[in-house]
Amino acid sequence: MAYVLTIDGPAGAGKSSVAKRLAQLLGIHYLDTGAIYRAIALVLAEEGVRPEESESLTQALPGIRIELRGGAVLANGVDVSREIRTPRADKLSSVYSALPSVRRALLGLQRDQEQYGSLVVEGRDEGSVVFPKAPLKFFLTATPEARARRRCLERERRGEPVSYEEVLAAIRERDIADSSREVSPLVQPEGAVRIDTSDMTEDEVVECLLSRVRDALAKGEISA
C-alpha cells in the first residue's frame, strides 16, 4: 500500500537533500513542494499579477499549469528548474505562497502525487495541511546561522558565491514571513518527530530518519 512521509521545516534545514536521499534509499518518489510554489510565483510575477488577493489573481491561477517531470519543474510547458533556484525566486515564492488562493490552487496537484505510489514529500505544511493523515511526519529545524552557512556552501558549489550576512538576513526575513502568515503557517505538525540538524551531518540526519521509517515499517505502522 502506498504511504506518504512528510518532512516540513524552515528554509535551509537540510530538508531537500535529506528528503531526496531518503526517497532514493526507500525506492519511493520524492516531491519537492517548494519547487511548485517557486514555479507558480515566477509565472505570476511574469504575468504582472500583484502579490495580493485580487480578481486578477483569481483569474490568472486556473491558466497556470505546473508539471513535475522526473526531476524537472515545468511552468506552462517551459522548464524552469534553474530559474526557480535564484534569490529572486526565493523572495517571490515566499510572498506569493502566503496567499490563500495560491495555496488552494496547489493543493490538488500535491495530493494527486500519491496516486503514483509511496512518497517522501517536503515543504512547510505537508504534515499539517496537505497530508495530515501521513503515518510518519518529520520536522527538521536548525539555527538560522547553521542554515545560512549551508545555503552559502550550496551557492558556492554552484559557482554563485553570496555573502553570509545577506543570506542570514534573508533567512530571518523568510522565517518570519513563513511562520507568521495567516494561512498554513510553518508549524511543527502534530505528531511529527522534531530533529534539530544544526550539529548533524547530512548522513546522520538521513540515518536518523531512515531508522525511524524502518522501525515504523517493522511495526506495521506503515506498509510498503
| Shortest spacing between CB 8 and ligand DC, in angstroms | 7
CB neighbour burial string for 35-69, b if at least 16 within 10 angstroms, e if fewer: bbbbbbbbbbbeeebebeeeeebeebbeebebebe
Region of 4 on the Ramachandran plot (φ > 0 left; ψ -120 to 50 alpha; else beta)? beta
From 33, 118, 141, 197, residue interacting with ligand DC (rule: CB under 6 A): 33
From 7, 14, 26, 94, residue interacting with ligand DC (rule: CB under 6 A): 94
CA distance 18 to 9: 12
What does the block give as the cell for 104? 488552494
CA distance 124 to 21: 19
Residues forming a β-bridge with 73: 68
Look at strands 4-8 and 136-141 and give their pairing: parallel
Residues forming a β-bridge with 6: 121, 137
Verify binding: residue 114, ligand DC, rule CB under 6 A: no
| Shortest spacing between CB 9 and ligand DC, in angstroms | 9
Which residues have a Cβ under 8 Å from the Cβ of 153 and sit 6 or more positions away?
none
Instruction: Tell me the window of 51-59, 118-126, 143-151, 162-170 that interacts with ligand DC (CB under 6 A).
Output: 118-126
CA distance 181 to 185: 5
Please, which residue, 11 or 105, has the CB nearer to ligand DC? 11
Instruction: Tell me the window of 32-40, 42-50, 71-79, 142-150 that interacts with ligand DC (CB under 6 A).
Output: 32-40
Verify binding: residue 124, ligand DC, rule CB under 6 A: yes
From 22, 49, 119, 125, residue interacting with ligand DC (rule: CB under 6 A): 125
From 6, 97, 141, 197, residue interacting with ligand DC (rule: CB under 6 A): 97
> How many residues belong to the chain?
224
| Shortest spacing between CB 114 and ligand DC, in angstroms | 15
Instruction: Tell me the window of 52-60, 124-132, 161-169, 189-197 that interacts with ligand DC (CB under 6 A).
Output: 124-132
| Shortest spacing between CB 43 and ligand DC, in angstroms | 14
The footprint of ligand DC on this chain (CB under 6 A) covers a number of residues equal to: 14
Q: Which residues bind ligand DC (CB under 6 A)?
A: 11, 33-34, 37-38, 93-94, 97, 123-126, 174, 178
